[in-house]
A and B are shown apart, each in its own frame.
Chain A
Amino acid sequence: MPDARTQPDDDPLWYKDAVFYEVHVRAFYDSNADGIGDFRGLTQKLDYLEELGVDTIWLLPFYPSPLRDDGYDVADYTDVHPNYGTLEDLKVFLEEAHRRRMRVVTELVVNHTSDQHPWFQEARKSRDNPKRNWYVWSDTDDRYREARIIFTDTELSNWAWDPISKQYYWHRFFSHQPDLNFDNPEVVEEVWKIMKYWRELGVDGFRVDAVPYLVEREGTNCENLPETHQIIKFLRRRLDEAFGSNFLLAEANQWPADVRAYFGDGDEFHMAFHFPLMPRMFMAVRLEDRKPIIDILRRTPDIPPTCQWGIFLRNHDELTLEMVSDEERDYMYDEYALDRAARLNLGIRRRLAPLVDNDRRRIELMNSLLLSLPGSPIIYYGDEIGMGDNIYLGDRNGVRTPMQWNGGWNAGFSQADPERLYLPLIANPVYGYQRINVESQLRSAHSLLAWMKRIIRVRKSTRVFGRGSIEFLHPANHRALAYVREYQGETVLVVNNLSSSAHPVELDLRRWRGMVPIEMFGGNLFPRIGEAPYPITLGPYQYYWFRLRRL
């Protein structure tokens, strides 16, 4: 039982070298022809993921839920939604994953529950119910006024009126998601029990949803409060006491300086998403200027040695533009979401390929950045084959359509009638499953999928990308983004051309003079580095990864 992992690799810092793969059980593979993906289906496709080279699977919520927020409205924390199978199916999946030396990270959505959760049903019965204090209630809707509203497109207030008990309850997200009251020790204890439950079942770690919003205090914006940190420290301590190696990933859509606090002194989260970096990678490629990326990484504070940034290009949410200036947001909207339907809240609801006009060169460049900048990369399912989206499906469903396995019936996703699928497949002539699917890409040595396998393999050939330091070079040409990663005597030079045209660039590599660059994809030797500026010619959107070796 405890720790069902059987991998020989017991490095507690495994997440630093990991390549994450984010997937929703529902969207991957349907084994029972009901139109909805399930754990058995996911288990069947583990070989595909192993082949791809990813080593950690991050599962989106699969708990019983009314599914009004794609499972982020949990109605039972300790079970599996019947759509996705049973707890037994999940256990088999975990075992199979571990057998392939893959780890599994699940969602811990405890800032709020669904309003269908028995706790809330209890709590709203009367004002003196024992569970009443598990949630946040108020007679007026003007408390915590300084807290911003996150889903600006759908919610007008963070308070919702409960007609049964005649009080307002607090919710930071949708009104059907009442926030749990973390000032109540019973709630914290209950959360610990949930974590313990899953860890014992074999889950390797948690991605903790909506971390900054756990605790509310009057007179603050109710984000990143010290009390929130206390609760996390407490849970981490309990976890470390009970289990050997743990993993907590924070979802905190904040500026790097604020996110830094969630690493504590290495006693809170192991990893946190680097939200502001993501839009800036897109911005830099559009501006053809490295400034946005260098600026944001310069403003990123150092983190404790055991901690890691999680970086990503796209995920199941919109491409969030909360952590950019108004000027930058307008630019992103104009360049990446001219179609207003693509905009949602403060962001853009699109997948990677449509964002870059299905330009293979730009898809590759973006992935080159993702896999070579400091942090552990997270790949969103479907992006490895360049799947498209459907911005007319409402909310963020457009980027959550079924995985496209082949060009046949339901894209090979399900044997059900097409009408039964949980969401319609992408079927347009450009991104449709007849054109973009795993099977056809497996047949070609030059498909995007084949290329993704290769670049992941190259990344995993060294620990320098996950653990190394970064030093930016400053060539006069601002279209070139060049940096050197170093770790334990290994040196890798990465040069990216952010521009759509060819450019010469001269790099000051005198610190590494005498070394010979070896291109990491082809293994070819380049001229030895000397005193003079090192000239490289970059084609449109070209990237080079060089291992620098003393020969």
Chain B
Amino acid sequence: MAEDTFLTDDFVRQLTAVGGVDIVVGLPTFNNRATVGRVLNAIQVGLAKYFPRERSVLINPDGGSTDGTPELVRTTTVEHYETLLAASPLRTFQRVSTVYPIGHGSGLAWRTILAAADLLGAKACISLSPDLESITPEWVDALVRPIYKEKFDFVAPIYRRHKFDGLLIKNVLWPLIRATYGSDIREPTATEVGLSGRLASHLAAQDVWRQTDTSQEGLRLWMTTLALVGNYRVCQAFLGPKTLGRNTARHDIVATVRQAVGELLRCLEAHEAFWMNRSGSQPTPVFGFQYGVAVEPVRINRARLLQTFRTGAAELASVLQSILTPTTLQQIQQVAALDDREFRFPDDLWVKTIYEFAASYHHSVINRDHLLQALVPLYQGRVASFVLQHYRAGAEEVEQHLEALSRRFEELKAYLVEGWTAKK
């Protein structure tokens, strides 16, 4: 990291004043005035309660908020420690706020946090979203403890989600990562993660930071991947339900698929030596008691999903031809022809579809961005099928299905390897 000029003088000065720390808590913000106070209090109470003796610092890279978020971050204090903790914290709660230039994307926020963790010699570095409604002080403990006490390097969260929440992760990212890298990571794109100092330094030293257009999802997936392939000890921590503030922007499905799946495939290509000869998967240890809790139901407009899928299957035939094998394409078109009531996108077909997309991505049969866009309608078909199939199912039943799907991904991995290594 010879050219570390991205850190402003003021930021370096603030870091100097902080000196060495044990725990870095990263909180990237951008116009989060409404929710950041609660998150900040949860962090302060969490640190005071679970890590009262450790030296800790909050790093707040702000993307140029206009609503006074950084000021709030600098000044928010817990009013009644005594009633919350029956004690007051031993240490000063240190915080550093820095504004990075607008237009640099979230990559710089992450890079700032990791660089701070690296420079301050932190043993653990966690990150939290500023718009969390459901955060509790226990989240801090859940993310830090496995690293601090159990010598893990990477803590991915596990959220309690509604059965129809996080379907891209459930249907693509999670099973594909599990089948390829052999690690069971339920939330590979989460903001709430914990990193060991070693891993944080490793990530901070990567070249990827020069690309300023890296997306949030892509960045987090990339970090997860490096943790998986880099001989780091990985675990998961149960956090409970994740509820975001009302103002949080809703994701655009096309953009998300392009970023998340695109980054996943890019990583697969970069680390093919790691996963090519692996088979099966290892369970990842999970910390925390997984309590049950009612979660806000997620409703999905099935009609529109189906419509997009059918249009896509028909209109994109010429594009899909170059990506999929004739058999698979034919089967998809058969699925598209099914009546609404008996509409099903079978697991095996879905696995093969994903694998063929991955192989075609690798061989660059068409422009890679087009390839990812072509996946979107098919994914919507799969989601429609998933929702129809489990409309009345309980959470347990859905979990079983996902487990089965994930195993199919593992069992059919040879199919991916074959397509990947075939000469086209």
Q: Is the CB of B91 within 8 A of A479?
A: no
Of B15-23, B203-211, B252-260, which stretch is located at the interface? B15-23
Cβ of A326 within 8 Å of any chain B Cβ, yes or no, is yes
Cβ of B137 within 8 Å of any chain A Cβ, yes or no, is no
- Give the number of residue pairs across the A-B interface with Cβ within 8 Å: 51
Cβ of B328 within 8 Å of any chain A Cβ, yes or no, is no
Supposing A499-B19, A501-B20 touch, asked if A291 and B52 sit within 8 A by C-beta, the answer is: no
- How far does the Cβ of B87 sit from chain A's closest Cβ, in whole Å? 4
Of A206-214, A240-248, A408-416, A470-478, which stretch is located at the interface? A470-478
Cβ of B92 within 8 Å of any chain A Cβ, yes or no, is yes
Supposing A477-B19, A501-B20 touch, asked if A287 and B87 sit within 8 A by C-beta, the answer is: no
Q: Is the CB of A327 within 8 A of B17?
A: no
- Cα distance A292–B90 when bound, in Å? 7
A320-364 interface (Cβ within 8 A of B): 325-328, 331
Supposing A288-B55, A289-B92, A331-B53 touch, asked if A325 and B19 sit within 8 A by C-beta, the answer is: no
The interface residues of chain B, by DSSP majority, are classed as: loop
- Cα distance A288–B54 when bound, in Å? 10
Cβ of A307 within 8 Å of any chain B Cβ, yes or no, is no
Q: How many residues on the A side are at the interface (Cβ–Cβ under 8 A)?
A: 24
Most buried by B among A283, A287, A326: A287
- Cα distance A485–B409 when bound, in Å? 72
Closest chain A residue, CB of each to CB of B14: A476
Supposing A476-B14, A476-B17, A477-B19 touch, asked if A287 and B88 sit within 8 A by C-beta, the answer is: no
Contact mask for chain B residues 1-40; partner A; CB cutoff 8 A; 1 contact, 0 none: 0000000000001101111100000000000000000000
Residues of chain B within 8 A of A291, CB atoms compared: 89-92
- How far does the Cβ of B52 sit from chain A's closest Cβ, in whole Å? 6
- How far does the Cβ of A284 sit from chain B's closest Cβ, in whole Å? 9
- Cα distance A84–B66 when bound, in Å? 77
Contact mask for chain A residues 273-313; partner B; CB cutoff 8 A; 1 contact, 0 none: 00000000001000111111001000000000000000000
Cβ of B94 within 8 Å of any chain A Cβ, yes or no, is yes
Residues of chain B within 8 A of A292, CB atoms compared: 90
Q: Is the CB of B90 within 8 A of A331?
A: yes
- How far does the Cβ of B361 sit from chain A's closest Cβ, in whole Å? 49
- Cα distance A283–B53 when bound, in Å? 10
Residues of chain A within 8 A of B94, CB atoms compared: 478
- Cα distance A328–B90 when bound, in Å? 7
- Cα distance A316–B319 when bound, in Å? 88
Supposing A287-B53, A288-B55 touch, asked if A327 and B91 sit within 8 A by C-beta, the answer is: no
- How far does the Cβ of B258 sit from chain A's closest Cβ, in whole Å? 43
- How far does the Cβ of B3 sit from chain A's closest Cβ, in whole Å? 24
Cβ of A503 within 8 Å of any chain B Cβ, yes or no, is yes
Cβ of A504 within 8 Å of any chain B Cβ, yes or no, is yes
Most buried by A among B55, B92, B94: B92
Closest chain A residue, CB of each to CB of B82: A325
A404-458 interface (Cβ within 8 A of B): none
- Cα distance A504–B19 when bound, in Å? 9
Residues of chain A within 8 A of B91, CB atoms compared: 287, 289, 291, 478
- How far does the Cβ of A299 sit from chain B's closest Cβ, in whole Å? 11
Closest chain B residue, CB of each to CB of A477: B17
Supposing A283-B90, A325-B87, A325-B88 touch, asked if A475 and B52 sit within 8 A by C-beta, the answer is: no
A210-236 interface (Cβ within 8 A of B): none
Supposing A287-B91, A326-B87, A331-B90 touch, asked if A504 and B52 sit within 8 A by C-beta, the answer is: no
- How far does the Cβ of A281 sit from chain B's closest Cβ, in whole Å? 14
Q: Is the CB of B90 within 8 A of A503?
A: no
- How far does the Cβ of A291 sit from chain B's closest Cβ, in whole Å? 5
Contact surface of A with B, Cβ cutoff 8 Å: 283, 287-292, 295, 325-328, 331, 475-479, 499, 501, 503-506
Known: A478-B18, A503-B19; 5 extra A-B contacts, CB below 8 A, are A288-B55, A290-B92, A291-B91, A331-B52, A331-B90
A-B contact pairs, 13 of them (CB 8 A): A287-B53, A288-B55, A289-B90, A289-B92, A291-B92, A327-B52, A327-B90, A331-B90, A476-B14, A477-B18, A478-B92, A478-B94, A506-B13
